Amino acid sequence: MRDLYPLIRPLLFRLPAECAHDLALLALESGLVRALYGAAQPASPALAQRVFGLDFANPLGLAAGFDKDARAASAILRLGFGFVEVGTVTPRPQKGNPKPRLFRLEEDRALINRMGFNSKGLEPLLARLSRRRAQGIVGVNLGKNRESADAAADYEEGVRRAAAFADFLVVNISSPNTPGLRDLQRRAPLERLLSRLLEARRECPRRPPLLLKIAPDLLPEETIDLAKLAEECGIDGLVIGNTTVLRPPGLKSRNAREEGGLSGRPLFPRSTELLAEITRLTRGRLPLVAAGGVESGEDAWAKIRAGASLVELYTALVFEGPALVPRILEDLARLMRREGFTSLKEAVGSAAGRSARAAQ
* Residue 45 identity (one-letter amino acid): P
343 is catalytic: no
Asked whether 141 and 213 are in contact (CB, 8 A), the reply is: yes
CATH code reported for the domain at 5-352: 3.20.20.70
Mean pLDDT of the chain: 93
Q: How confident is the model at residue 181 (pLDDT cuts 50, 70, 90)?
A: confident
Residue-wise pLDDT tens digits, 144-170: 999 998 999 999 999 999 999 999 999
Task: Summarize the confidence of residues 132-147 as an average pLDDT.
Answer: 92
Residue-wise pLDDT tens digits, 193-240: 999 999 999 999 999 999 999 999 998 999 999 999 999 999 999 999
Residue 358 has pLDDT above 50, yes or no: no
Ranges of each domain in the chain = 5-352
Q: What share of the chain is helix, strand, coil (3-state, %, to 5)?
A: 45, 15, 40
Residue 360 has pLDDT above 50, yes or no: no
Task: State how far the Cα of 296 lies from the Cα of 87, in Å rounded to an integer.
Answer: 24
In 10 A of CB 50, how many CB atoms?
11
Q: What is the pLDDT of residue 353?
A: 63
Residue-wise pLDDT tens digits, 18-50: 999 999 999 999 999 999 888 888 899 999 999
Q: How confident is the model at residue 357 (pLDDT cuts 50, 70, 90)?
A: very low
Residue 355 has pLDDT above 60, yes or no: no
Alpha helix (H) residue ranges in the chain: 5-12, 17-30, 32-37, 73-77, 122-131, 151-162, 187-202, 220-233, 268-282, 297-306, 315-320, 324-338, 344-347
* Residue 300 identity (one-letter amino acid): A
Query: What is the reported pTM?
Result: 0.94
Task: Summarize the confidence of residues 122-142 as an average pLDDT.
Answer: 93
Residue 100 has pLDDT above 50, yes or no: yes
Residue 113 has pLDDT above 60, yes or no: yes
- Which one from 74, 148, 174, 175 is the annotated catalytic residue? 175
Asked whether 293 and 143 are in contact (CB, 8 A), the reply is: no
